Amino acid sequence: MKQLRLAVAAFALSLAPFAAAQDAPQDPPYLDNRSDAAELVRSLYNAISRREYARAWDYFGEQKPAKDFLMFSDGYADTARVEVETGSVSSEGAAGSIYYSVPVAIKAFDDDGNAATYAGCYTARLASPQLQESPFVPLHLEKGTLKPVEGELSAVLPASCGDGPPPPQKDSILENVKKRFAADYSETCQTLDSGEPGAADPTETTIGFNYKHDGATDDQREARLFRFSCNMAAYNSREVYYLADDSGELRQLQFATPELDIRYENDDSEGKLESISIIGYRATDQLVNSGYSPETKVIESFDKWRGVGDASTIGRWMFRDGQFTLVKYDVDATYDGEINPESVVDYETPP
């Protein structure tokens, strides 16, 4: 990697030799965000990647990273682009200012396609805006120290800087289930492209249970049930469920559902109901107007055939021995204005 010509004792490592692919991509989108310490660091490297050195120089306060601007800009002459990742920012107040410590890892590329990785911390400062006079001094970088490291950015990113707390651990199961749902239903679930904040976030319930083979003194196991809203119409909504078992293995739930043969007098659904027969079972990945009850450990659905709900199906799937099983299925096949379902499957009611 070509050595940068910048030589600043206290800041040299943070402005170390940078690199970029030989077939350089287009400049990244312009980013200039001075309202957040981590975004300020990202804006610095955005300016460097775009070769906007005056902007990069301006992110520093009175303590500049080089003797003068020419030395600073010359130091990045061979830099093509910089990838950056920031960690959990900590802050503390002192003498009318707030100081922010930002964990940073960067991967820098030069014009020959070489790359190098560095990690360390930046310090940003904001003097109290209420106490400042003109000219106003915005949030700016005070100093930074990065050292050469080996590894992926996420692996070398410092857990914290100064007295700051380590970043919260990521919930890998939650992240995976959200990715699974997005991949499985990006083209079929309206909530994914609705533009509403949190539209693809699930509701979650922890289910305590034991397998049949567990002993009486064994600790209770825990499963995590995730419910995603998929589509919503005038009187019916659809939901998708995923279950992470006690080992963390994630699977989408498929619900056993009776396939019905419904006969009416004169083949008229408005006429007299003659019979309801089960002619088989199939699995469905979506339930209608459904929800989970922690008290009964049952997922229940209520599929309205029309808005008043007098004709419908109601299904109940109970969680036992680590999975959901169909225990009851009621059908109201009469369009008579009254709610009078008939059970076609019933493993809840004693004989």
The full set of domain ranges for the chain reads 13-156, 172-346
Distance CA 171, CA 260 (A): 41
Range with lowest mean pLDDT among 195-204, 219-228, 252-261, 327-336: 195-204
Distance (Å) of CA 212 to CA 129, 216, 299, 322: 64, 10, 21, 9
Integer-rounded Cα Rg, in Å, for the chain is: 30
Range with lowest mean pLDDT among 20-24, 107-111, 311-315: 20-24
- Considering the four listed CATH numbers 3.10.450.50, 3.40.50.2300, 3.40.50.1820, 1.10.10.10, the one that applies to the domain covering 13-156 is 3.10.450.50
Spell out where 128-254 has E strands: 140-149, 203-209, 221-232, 237-244, 250-252
End-to-end CA distance of the chain: 80
More confidently predicted of 166 and 298: 298
Residue 216: per-residue pLDDT: 87
* pLDDT digit string, tens, across residues 207-240: 999 999 999 888 999 999 999 998 888 889 999 9
Our CA angle for 13, 18, 21, nearest 5°, is: 160
Range with lowest mean pLDDT among 58-67, 109-118, 164-173: 164-173
Residue whose pair of structure tokens reads 């820098």 in the numeric block: 108
Q: Where are the alpha helices (DSSP H) in the chain?
A: 37-49, 53-58, 69-74, 153-156, 172-185
Query: pLDDT category, 26, cuts 50, 70, 90?
Result: confident
DSSP state of 60: B
Helix (H, G, I), strand (E, B) or coil at 348: coil
* pLDDT digit string, tens, across residues 52-63: 999 999 999 988
Range with lowest mean pLDDT among 241-250, 264-273, 277-286, 299-308: 264-273
Burial level of 119, CB count in 10 A (0-12/13-18/19+)?
buried
Distance CA 122, CA 145 (A): 7
DSSP state of 187: T
Residue 271: per-residue pLDDT: 78
- Whether 321 and 231 have beta carbons less than 8 Å apart is answered as no
Taking every pair of Cα atoms in the chain, the longest distance, rounded to a whole number of angstroms, is 95
Residue 69: per-residue pLDDT: 93
- Whether 161 and 144 have beta carbons less than 8 Å apart is answered as no
Res 162 pLDDT > 60: yes
Distance CA 309, CA 313 (A): 9
- Whether 111 and 81 have beta carbons less than 8 Å apart is answered as no
Burial level of 322, CB count in 10 A (0-12/13-18/19+)?
middle
The pLDDT mean for the chain works out to: 86
Residue 20: per-residue pLDDT: 37
